[in-house]
Structure 1
Amino acid sequence: MKKKVQILFMISIIFVGGFTAGTLFAKNSANYESAKMVKTAEQSTKKPFQKNFPELSEAPSKVLIGYVQDYRDPDAIDYSKLTHVIFSFVHPEKDGSLSFNGEAASSNLRRMVSNAQKHDAKAFLAVGGWFHINGGESYEYFKSAIESLSSREKLVKELVSVAERENLDGIDVDFEHPRSKKDAQYLAAFINDLSNKLHAANKELSVAVHSKIHSVTGTVTDFVVYDPSMFKQVDFVNIMAYDGQWDGGYNAANLSPFPFTKKIVNYWSYLFDAHSISRDKLVLGVPLYGQPENPAIKQVSYEAIINNRNPEYAVKDKISMNGTTYYYNGEETMEKKTKLALTNRFGGMMIWEVGLDAKGPYSLSGAIAQALDNAKTKPEKYYSVKSSD
């Protein structure tokens, strides 16, 4: 009996101990699971999700500016690839008045403006140029017009008036070229006054500039002088990155080769950065003509090169035609130059001049426009982590 009681007592102890241990284990397990749930809840407040695409679906649009000479048939120009077309030229007189090259030029301007509007291209009028309607260089006429306050004010008034009268989108200033600090100051004052008037009328202003690089030495030339402050007042700076054939003695091969252009791009990029001016104002100019080895022979249009020879010359930069060697920029070089401009964050390309271009599939303006279009970027999907609080 005593032994039976002892056995029952031991069983009771084991049962109670097991029950107690089970209770403690269950309690600890509940606490552990609770802790896990708290931790999981803390982490779940941040959930990965796909964000909407940014609004900027493309890179900023680039300009393709084409000059058109005043004697061209406006109906023969292809406006479809251009963002801006610039009628060249109206001529400044020493007293600040303006002169067109006869009634035919005035009529061509109006037809060009009408055609540009049909193709959503902006129409500008260029004042200046190398030659003056009265003969000789335009330099003395332009200089006289902007060096005195009265004639400068008159020239500004005349240009704003013609812009409004002819329904233009802007004016292009082509003073070739300021040759001293005083010239540069006069030009800057003129640009400032004209900019204020045009922008107040919701019109644009561009300026054509010398390349500033010697095609032979590769150094910066001091023949042309600019006041950099004026570039802040304009919408576009059209760099005439050609005509290097005249540097250091005539050499047609120096017309506008790619290495020469690369130095020009580097110079203007550095200048604009140094003066905290946005590079997207810079527009790289290219030639659409062939330069003959013999300076006594006239230049030829790119259209003549393609039409008179095998179209394969579209991708070359040098040909022999009628016993003369001509240097020019073919399609491959134009594409390289466009890529160079875009890589350096330029605002686009400029053509001198559209009337020299070939028609159809060999058009250089078409090749440049395609290169500009190919440079547009598309957005990529991206993810982020955002709190749900």
Structure 2
Amino acid sequence: MYKKKIMKNIKLFFQLICFSLMLTGCSKTPVKAATPEIKKEEPQKEDPNRFKVIGYLFAGGDLLAASAKIDLSKITHLNIAFINPDASGVFAPVAGLAELVKKAHQHQVKVIAAIAGGNPPQYLKEMLKSDRRKILIDGLMQLTRTYNLDGIDVDLEGDFVNENYEAFVVDLSAALKKESKLMTAAVATWNSAAYSDKAIVLFDLINIMSYDQTGPWRKDKPGPHSTYEAAEIDFNHWNVSRAIPAERLILGLPFYAYGFGTDIPESLTYGEIVLRYPGAEKLDIWELPGKGTFYYNGWPTIKKKLSYALQKKAGGVMIWQLLGDAQGDLSLLNSIHRALNN
């Protein structure tokens, strides 16, 4: 009897120990340490009521160094033009882009990679086709993740807006929306019929390239390439004829001049024009007797286009391109900023 009692007490003792171990979490299965969460920057939603000032910046060279010439506090979106893959769909590293994105985000400026352009690599046409489209879109999505970009600007022009354009835009839109990224476009009114309704409705913002009505490629037709009247016609086309809401339309402004003549450059930036010819900022035409004539937009015309965009409740204005501006009091960007904040 005594022996049985001892055995019973021993058994009870071990049961208590096991119970105690269970309560303290001890077991054969080890407890894993919590994996620290990587804090990701949440994409900001596009405010339809905010008037946008979108500027393009060339992708060549060191972007961070180039951005030192731009007052980021005076723009809302920065489009990097152009970032294209190689023929296999691989995007090469872009010097200074990661640092530029960080700097821009500190100023609440969204950074978007613009693809294609006016003279894109021809193999991009092949990458729009169904058998290679996914490679291109996957590459673009990885590009946005690598550099923490806010979206992609589709700047396919001319015959690149072909039978594969709509399917590419539909698929890219779906991929970007999953990650709350923007999809914007640069469009030319002369090519409007090529952009299907199904494609055009998917863009968050549409940059109207209201310039280049003529240029050095049309030496037989010298004259203004970006008039105020053309801006009205272009905006009305996309807003009324194509039924795109005004708040999604961005009116393009040129920061450059075209020259027609026997002894002048074919093109100059606005900054170069006003630096060479004092008073040129007040005009749209600068004639050099016996040599030729420059056509561009001076401040009066830029101001008039800005007022029109505001009157029409447009989404904003777009600048091609930021490094074409002048500095100080002659800067068009500074003038735009003052006009919007007075």
Specify the TM-score bucket, using the shorter chain as the normaliser: 0.7 to 0.9
Could you say which residue in structure 2 is the equivalent of 1:205?
A: 183
- For 2:132, the equivalent position in structure 1 comes to 151
Determine if the alignment matches structure 1 residue 308 to structure 2 residue 276: yes
Return the structure number with greater relative CO, CA threshold 8 A, min gap 6: 1
Q: Deviations over 1:255-301 (max 9, x none)?
A: 1011122211221111332xxx4221111111100110138833111
Partner residue in 2 for 1:70: 59
Q: CA deviation at 1:122?
A: 0.5
Out of 78, 82, 97, the position equivalent to 1:85 is 78
Candidates 231, 241, 260, aligned match of 1:293: 260
**Of the candidates 111, 124, 130, which is equivalent to residue 142 of structure 1?**
124
Q: TM-score with structure 2 length normalisation?
A: 0.77
Deviation at residue 174 of structure 1 after TM alignment: 0.7
1:316: Cα distance to partner? 0.8
Larger radius of gyration: 1
Hey, what does 2:284 align to over in structure 1? 317
Match of 2:201 in 1: 232
The residue number in structure 1 matching 2:41 is none
What are the equivalent positions in structure 2 for 1:87-236 lying under 5 Å apart? Answer: 87-95=80-88, 97-100=89-92, 106-132=94-120, 138=121, 140-147=122-129, 149-178=130-159, 183=162, 185-212=163-190, 225-236=194-205
Letter in 1 for 2:237: Y
Hey, what does 2:17 align to over in structure 1?
none
Match of 1:45 in 2: none
**CA shift digits 1:43-97 (9 cap, x unpaired):** xxxxxxxxxxxxxxxx9211110000123622222212110001111124555x1
CA distance in 1, matches of 2:274, 2:302: 15
Instruction: Calculate percent identity across the aligned residue pairs.
Output: 29
Q: One-letter code of the match for 2:58?
A: Q
SS in structure 2 of the partner of residue 110 of structure 1: helix
Deviation at 1:236, TM superposition (A): 0.5
Distance 2:288 2:84 in 1: 35
| 1:260 and 2:230 matched | yes
Retained in 2: the 8 A contact 1:68–1:355? yes
Closer, same or farther: CA 70–179 of 1 in aligned 2, 3 Å: closer
Q: In 2, Cα distance between the equivalents of 1:98 and 1:353? A: 26
Per-residue CA deviation, residues 5-46 of structure 1 (Å, 9 max, x unaligned), is xxxxxxxxxxxxxxxxxxxxxxxxxxxxxxxxxxxxxxxxxx
Is the 1:171–1:204 Cα contact (8 Å) retained in structure 2? Answer: yes
Once superposed, what is the RMSD of the aligned Cα atoms? 2.4
What residue is the counterpart of 1:351 in the other structure? 319
CA distance in 2, matches of 1:61, 1:293: 39
- Preserved contact between residue 91 and residue 139 of structure 2 (Cα < 8 Å): no
Deviation at 1:239, TM superposition (A): 0.9
Post-superposition shift, 1:249?
5.9
Q: When you count helix as a share of all residues, which structure comes out higher?
A: 1
* 1:89-129 deviation line (CA, Å, top 9, x unaligned): 1124555x1445xx6xx113234323312322111111101
Offset, 1:252: 4.0
- Separation in 2, partners of 1:158, 1:116: 23
Asked whether the equivalents of residues 74 and 108 of structure 1 are also in contact (C-alpha less than 8 Å), the reply is no
How far 1:321 moved relative to its partner?
Answer: 5.4
Counterpart CA distance in 2 for 1:169 and 1:200 is 13
Q: List gaps (5 residues or longer) in structure 1.
A: 1-58, 133-137, 213-220, 375-389
TM-score, length basis structure 1: 0.68
Which residue number in structure 2 is paired with residue 7 of structure 1?
Answer: none
Partner letter of residue 238 of structure 2? W
Match of 1:342?
Answer: 310
Q: Which piece of structure 1 moves more, 151-160 or 247-256? A: 247-256
